Amino acid sequence: MICCVMMCGGKGTRLKKTMGLNIEKPMVKLKNKPLIEYLINILIQSNKFKRIFAAVSCNTQKTREFVKLNYGDKITLMETSGRGYSEDYLKIIKYFKDMENEKKHDNIKKILFLPIDVPLISLDVLTQLTSINQQKPCLTIVLEKGFVKNTGILPSSYGFMSGNKDYCYSGISIIDIKRIDVDINSTGKLALIEEEYKILNRPEIACNTNTLYDLKTAEKLLLNEA
């Protein structure tokens, strides 16, 4: 079985800066609905996850209230520090590994991590993600930078080159909790996790809403789907 963790405890600095608003990123409106609502609705509709979690923090108190009020019976809130993605990611992996060791999460083998800023993810994409034959402890979803540009989206600055192509990280990953060994070193960081990459050139994944420009692009894509 697989569960999903929505990462929604960050500060959302880039989006706040370009929008000029002091608003929590998960609660930013896309065509009159908060970003998090798009993600929650499609995750519930997919019926593919044993449990769905929303990882919130002190940065996203209104998000916590929104989830509790509207989806309290379907979404489990999970508290993180909100100090950084890597730190929160580590805490969540350790939580599930501890639960597995104590046999408190029966049959949960994998965790799908979804950033809150991919609101256009479709049922088809979720089906692809949950059916990938994973070989290593961490599966990281990437896109070709050229594909992202051709979609009319500004590529993320976080990426790498392989062969003669540039790739962008999507922020989506799948952890095989049974294959991972949680080893915290003296600095409090997780030892390097062995990972593999899967290229998924899909507009729904490419549309990562980190700026006002990205938000407007997402609105155009929604209009094209209508």
Sequential DSSP letters for 16-76:
HHHHT----GGG-EETTEEHHHHHHHHHHHHT--S-EEEEE-GGGHHHHHHHHHHHTTTEE
Domain total of the chain: 1
Chain centre distance of CA 43:
12
Chain centre distance of CA 83:
16
**pTM of the model as a whole:** 0.89
Q: What is the mean pLDDT of residues 45-53?
A: 93
Which pLDDT score is estimated for 123? Answer: 94
Span 87-115, pLDDT tens digits: 888 889 888 887 777 666 667 789 999 99
3-state class (DSSP) for residue 226:
coil
Do residues 3 and 55 lie in contact, with contact meaning Cβ atoms separated by under 8 Å? no
Give which of 57, 87, 76, 71 is closest to 3, Cα–Cα: 76
CATH (domain of 103): 3.90.550.10
Beta-carbon contacts of 127 under 8 Å, excluding residues fewer than 6 positions away, are 46, 48
Residues 9, 12: Cα–Cα separation, whole Å? 9
Question: Which tokens sit at 176?
Answer: 């095989």
Amino acid symbol at 122 = S
**Consecutive H or E run containing 98:** helix 85-101
Question: Domain range spanning residue 141?
Answer: 2-225
Span 169-214, pLDDT tens digits: 999 999 998 887 765 444 445 556 788 999 999 989 988 888 788 8
